[in-house]
Amino acid sequence: MPALVAFGMKWRIGSDDLVFPYFFSLLLKLIWFLMTSVLVSFSGKHRCYEESVFKFYMYTLMCIQFLSCLVQLVIMFISGAGTIANPRPRRFIKWIIYLHTFIFVIEFLWESVGIVWEKNRDFNLNLSKEMSDNNIEKIIHYYKFAMGSYGWMLYIYTKGFFGFLQLLASSFCSIFCRCCLKKEPAGLLQHTSIEGDNLLKWSTQSVLKWTKISKMNLIHAKFIRQAYCPAYIVAVDHIEKSVVIAIRGTLSVSDALVDLSAQPSLIMKKNNANYYAHQGMKDSTYSLHMKLEGEGMLQKIFNIYPSYRLIITGHSYGAGVAALLSMLLKPVYPNLHCYAFSPPGGLISDAGISFTKSFITSVVLGTDLIPRLSLDSFQFFSKELLHEIKTCKKPKFWIFVTSFVRLFGLKRKESSDTVQPLLGANEKIENERTGSREKLTEKNFKDEFDSSQSEEEICLTDSDGSVVNDTKEPAANSPSVPMPSKNRPRLYLPGRIIHIEREKQSAIKHCCCCCCKSSNTEARARWGQQSEFVHFLWDEDMVSDHLPSSLLEALESLKKESL
C-alpha cells in the first residue's frame, strides 16, 4: 500500500483509504444539495428587482454542488479500484483530488459572497430627511454606553475576531505600556472602581472602546450582578457634557428570573396618582438607587461638574431599570434624560406614561418581541393560540414544514382559500397601526433631543399635514388591545417611543434564502404609541431585532443615509 503522493507531499494514507471518508462527505453534500433544491423550489415568483441575480446565484451554487458530488463519487470508485499491493488502477487519483480541491475553493468563495450579501440585505435603509444628523449621532452616542455595559462578550460578538485582537492589544498595552495611558487634568475623582472584570480587564477596555472615553472618566463599573442588583457603569462624558449611567440588559439566569417577576407593583405616588411598575425591575431599581444615592457617588460627581446633565440609558432589562431609575431621580435632577433602548413592554402603568413623556425616550426596532412582551400580551396570545389551534385546517406536519421554510427566509406561495395564518389577527393590528401612522418631523425631533428642550408637549404631523397630539392614552376598550385581569393595572412602554420601521413587502423580503438585497427595503423613524405594542407581531426578525448589534446597525444605517 504505497503512500498517496499529492500537492508535492507524501501523505500517511494510501490512495485506497479514501472510500469511506468521501462516502460520508458525499452523503452530507447530497443532503445539502437536496435542501438547496427544496428551498429554491419553494421560493416561487417574486417582484424583487434582484430576482434574476438570486436565481443566477442559487443555480450556480447548485451546479457547483452537483459537480462536487460527481467528483467525490469518481474519487470513491477510483480509490476502491485495484488491490492493496496493486495501486496502478489508482494512478490518476491525485489529479481528481486536485480537481475536487479546485471545486471546493470555488464553492467556498461563492458561498462567502452569499454570506456577505445576507449580512447587508436587511438594512438597506433610506433615511427620511425628517431626522437630524446631530440627533441621530446623539442617540448612537448614548447607545454605545449601553452596549459597553454588557462587557467584553458583546464587543467580540459585534466586532468579531478583529475585536478580540483589539482587546488583546489593549490589555498588553495597559499592562506593559503605562505611557499609553492618557494623563487627565486635575479635578477628576481619584480612581476608577471596577467590580467583576477579568484579569485582563477586557470588560473595562470594551467600555472605553465603545464610548471613546478615557479610563479616568469611567468612575464606576460593575460587570457582575447580584440578586436584584444589575450590572452598570457610571461615567463622565465630556463630549456631551453629561454624567452617564448605563445599565446592562439580560445576560444571566438571575437577570432572566427578574424579567419573569412581571406582576405590577406600586413604585411611587405623584399628584394623587398611583404609578405601578414591573415588580422585578422595580426591586432592581430600588437596589441601584440606594447604591448610587446612599454612597453619594452622583453627588460627588456633580460637585465637580455642576453644569453637566444626568443621562440614564440601558438596553432590554437595563432599559427598564433605567426608565424606573429616572422616575426616582427626576425630582433631584430635573434636567435628566433617559434613553431606553428596546425596553420591556410591561413596565409602567398608564398613569406614568404622561409623566415620563418629557424625559424618557424609548427606541424600538421593527417587530422586536420584548417591547411587546407583558402579562396581558402573553395572556392574549395564549387565548388566541388556542383559538387558532381549534380552527386551523392544516395538519401539524404541514405547519412544521412551512415554518421551516420561513426560517430560511422563504415563503411558499399559496392560494387564498388554503391559507390559514396562525394568529392572523396581527395583520389587522398592523393595518390599524399603519392607518394611524404619524410622521416624525425634523423640528420635533430636534426639539426632543436638544439639551435645552422644554417641558412643553410636542405635537406631530399626520400624513395629511394636520397636527396630531400624541398625548392620548392607550384605549382601554379598544378591541385590538387585550384586557387585563381584574384589579391588575395594565403596563406599557415608558415615555415617548421612537419606532424604527422597515418598510418592506413580504414578497420582496422572502425572495431569497441568503442573498437578496432589495433596493425597495426602506426604514424610517416615527413617533409610536403605547397601544401599538400590546400585541406580538410574528415575524422572522422578532428575535434578531432585539439584539444590541441589530439596533446599532439600524441606527448607524440611518446616520449613513442622512449624509
pLDDT at residue 186 above 50? no
Tens digits of residue pLDDT in 101-112: 898 899 888 888
Least confident of 42-46, 308-312, 454-458, 495-499: 454-458
Cell of 554: 439600524
Average pLDDT over residues 20-45: 78
* β-bridge partners, 314: 247, 340
Cα(304)–Cα(313) distance, integer angstroms: 22
Cα(411)–Cα(509) distance, integer angstroms: 9
More confident residue, 554 or 414: 554
pLDDT at residue 194 above 50? yes
pLDDT at residue 504 above 60? no
| Res 149: pLDDT | 93
If pLDDT is split at 50, 70 and 90, which confidence band does 342 have? Answer: very high
Tens digits of residue pLDDT in 317-336: 999 999 999 999 999 999 99
Looking at every residue in the chain, the average pLDDT score rounds to 76
Average pLDDT over residues 18-26: 85
How many C-beta neighbours within 10 Å does residue 284 have?
26
Per-residue 3-state assignment (H helix, E strand, C coil) for 351-415: HHHHHHCCCEEEEEECCCCHHHCCHHHHHHHHHHHHHHHHHCCCCHHHHHHHHHHHHCCECCCCC
Tens digits of residue pLDDT in 363-408: 999 889 999 988 888 888 888 888 888 888 877 777 777 777 766 5
Cα(104)–Cα(107) distance, integer angstroms: 5
| Res 522: pLDDT | 61
pLDDT at residue 308 above 50? yes
More confident residue, 85 or 485: 85
| Res 511: pLDDT | 44
Helices (H) and strands (E) in the chain, counts: 18, 18
Single-letter code of the amino acid located at 95: W
| Res 513: pLDDT | 41
The half-sphere exposure of 143 on its side-chain side, counting CA atoms within 13 A, is 24
Tens digits of residue pLDDT in 204-232: 999 999 999 988 899 999 998 777 788 99
| Res 264: pLDDT | 87
| Domains contained in the chain, CATH given | 3-121 (no CATH), 133-374+434-447+488-561 (3.40.50.1820)
Torsion sign, CA atoms 301, 305, 306, 312: negative
Torsion of CA 95, 100, 101, 105, to 10 degrees: 140
End-to-end Cα separation, the chain, in angstroms: 67
Torsion sign, CA atoms 490, 492, 495, 497: negative
β pairing state of 459-462 and 438-439: antiparallel
Those residues with Cβ within 8 angstroms of residue 97's Cβ, 6 or more apart along the chain or in another chain: 6, 75
Average pLDDT over residues 298-306: 92
* β-bridge partners, 237: 242
Tens digits of residue pLDDT in 75-89: 888 888 877 777 778
Cα(2)–Cα(16) distance, integer angstroms: 9
Tens digits of residue pLDDT in 100-157: 889 889 988 888 887 777 665 544 434 343 344 348 889 999 999 999 999 999 999 9
Match 436584584 to its residue by C-alpha cell.
228
* β-bridge partners, 194: 221
If pLDDT is split at 50, 70 and 90, which confidence band does 176 have? Answer: low
Least confident of 173-177, 247-251, 271-275: 173-177
